Amino acid sequence: METTQESFPDKSVAVEPLIAASIAHATVPARLSLPPKGACWYCEKPLDSVRRFCGKSCSDAFDEEAEYTR
């Protein structure tokens, strides 16, 4: 006689390839590929050497413009 675990297939095995495929096909926003340059990529406001945008409004505007100019 088999155990309960042996009689039911492992669902996580079938789901893992689907997750990997969806991650591979996911689109990456253009702003994530930008290197930090010390200023906002949208409005040119001075920033530190880590940030790419001064705020969410500039980040969203950059994404919208990148989508429009595709």
The confidence score (pLDDT) of residue 60 equals: 93
Task: Specify the number of domains making up the chain.
Answer: 1
Q: Which residue has the higher pLDDT, 52 or 18?
A: 52
Which residue range(s) make up the domain with 55?
4-68
pLDDT at 8 over 80: no
Q: Please, which residues have CB within 8 angstroms of residue 63's CB and are 6 or more apart in sequence? A: 29, 30, 31
pTM confidence score: 0.56
- CB-CB contact of 43 with 54 (8 Å): yes
pLDDT band at 44 (very low <50, low <70, confident <90, very high): very high
pLDDT band at 25 (very low <50, low <70, confident <90, very high): very low
> What number of CA atoms fall less than 13 Å from residue 42's CA on the CB side?
18
Q: What is the mean pLDDT of the chain?
A: 77
Of residues 52, 63, 57, 69, the one with CA closest to residue 28: 63
